[in-house]
Chain A
Amino acid sequence: MSSRYDRAITVFSPDGHLFQVEYAQEAVKKGSTAVGVRGKDIVVLGVEKKAIAKLQDERTVRKICLLDDHVAMAFAGLTADARILINRARVECQSHRLTVEDPVTLEYITRYIATLKQRYTQSNGRRPFGISCLIVGFDYDGTPHLYQTDPSGTHHEWKANATGRSAKTVREYLEKHYTDEVADSDAESIKLALKALLEVVQSGSKNVELAVMRRDEPLKMLSVDEIEKIMAEVEKEKEEEAEKKKKTKTS
């Protein structure tokens, strides 16, 4: 039955589905995992790095990008759609600065992106954007934010979230381990993002990319050495926990 209602985006099915929007959400699941964590003084984005071809330049396959000095975004889904959306968002950020003489707030730019996506779910002959975005940054007043948008054009604020392949598993991990104590510490927030990602990604600094933004500081992509250092700490903590469990079992 669905095949009668999934050809045109503007048609509801009898049971209220917009199949093209739902199929667009399936396209998001084809992209590799992206995770975002909002701390008190830091926002973290972590992505699963795709294996690239030998002859391909690594720099052209980026999942984390800047929209403005204080706004960064990670996405999952159709690469080409992401490029278009990022360009439009960047132009809007600069236009806002010039018009209003203030940098965009996270809520504003998220609403802009979400509105754009929603328009494509209600237009003739167009298909929805097949990407889901995690938008992080600090507002002018120093408040950190993490927002997520999806192909339907909805947007929500989150303390921590994931999108892309296996996002459900990662989200469940975040729900279990995100606490206010973790959010208060920069190092713990970064570790949480990494540990959540490692639930679904093969271990190794080659497979993971992390970016952090602190208040009044630009976005920083962590180097391979820094990621390896954090990974070593995470491994050590895991071993210590395993030792503790063994001791409690034997006693």
Chain B
Amino acid sequence: MAAPLGCGYGDLVLASSRAVDDEEEEEEGSQTPSPSAVLRWSAQAKQEISESPNDCIECSALIVAIGPVATGFIHTYLLHQETEILGMIGSGLSEDTCNTFEQTSPADATCFLHRLKSAPSVIFCQCNVDVPPEMMFSWTQQLFSCINIRNTYVGILASAPVSEYRSSISLSDVTVPFLRGLKTNQFHGKPVCPYLEQPNTAKGLPASVLTHCQVYRVPAVLYMCYSDSIYVEIPAIKAFLPVLKGTPFRDIVQENPNADISLRKLVELRARQNNLYT
């Protein structure tokens, strides 16, 4: 039997079936695209980018703080001087995500990029948003999209519950909270705390950022704070203090005489009424 005109051997011929409604097929075709993170620059930052020769913001150090403990630490010990908001990364359109530049309370679920007026080459990313896993890659891409990381040191701070930490030593013999570190090959030097031991792994957004730095040969160091409280507590925030003696933090830090007061206010702001335990 001769082949129908226009069809060659091996061509896929889709037979239409009376059993299937054509309209259903159309609906299947138009699936909602997977959401991606969006970086929005402030008006001033946009101008700076447009005026720069390589359409990038110059940066000698990028500090990424993920989660309330890490952002609380950066807020108290590094961002206590005058800062400006460069931009924000939005990752979602649910009711409780903040997508404007106006919501600046430390307890809001925001992700702002800050810069110290006294040290304009240092950029801080304060991420208090729970970035969903499917957006982590695009979030990382967006973060590094307009920042010139050729001569940049990256410092990543994050926290995790100690129940996820696996160790041959019993946890009752370990002082909690504690720090563990990981670094990229390009980071010459050691973290200020022990390395994260096997079989533990860094997960989520901190891992995504560190991996990006490893792939693009950026010197980066990740500090994970393991704490036993699901609430933000002062000991967990203070556990990050040794980090201030290491690169890239030691060149940026300036003493904050009101650190303890600031910490207490932050913890009170975030304290949820815990009546479960007495």
- List residues of chain A with CB under 8 Å of any chain B CB: 27, 29-32, 50-51, 53, 56, 61, 63, 75-80, 82, 168
Known pairs A31-B277, A32-B278; list 15 more (Cβ under 8 Å).
Answer: A30-B229, A53-B273, A56-B273, A61-B275, A61-B278, A63-B278, A75-B278, A77-B278, A78-B277, A78-B278, A79-B276, A79-B277, A79-B278, A82-B278, A168-B172
A80 to B177, CA, bound (A): 27
Which 7 pairs of residues, A with B, have the shortest CB-CB distance? A30-B277, A79-B278, A31-B277, A31-B278, A63-B278, A53-B273, A78-B277
Interface size class of B (residues with CB under 8 A): under 10
A78 to B276, CA, bound (A): 6
Contact indicator B277/A77 (Cβ below 8 Å): yes
Contact indicator B278/A50 (Cβ below 8 Å): yes
A78 to B275, CA, bound (A): 9
19 contacts between A and B (CB under 8 A): A27-B277, A30-B276, A30-B277, A31-B278, A32-B277, A51-B271, A56-B273, A61-B275, A63-B278, A76-B277, A77-B278, A78-B276, A78-B277, A79-B275, A79-B276, A79-B278, A80-B276, A82-B278, A168-B172
Residues from chain A with a CB closer than 8 A to the CB of B229 are: 30
B259-278 Cβ-contact flags toward A at 8 Å (1 or 0) = 00000000000010101111
Closest to B173 in A: A168
Query: In angstroms, how far is the closest chain A Cβ from the Cβ of B175?
Result: 10
Query: In angstroms, how far is the closest chain B Cβ from the Cβ of A162?
Result: 14
A32 to B273, CA, bound (A): 15
Closest to B230 in A: A30
Closest to A76 in B: B278
A168 to B174, CA, bound (A): 12
Residues from chain A with a CB closer than 8 A to the CB of B273 are: 53, 56
Asked whether any CB of chain A lies closer than 8 Å to the CB of B197, the reply is no
Closest to B228 in A: A29
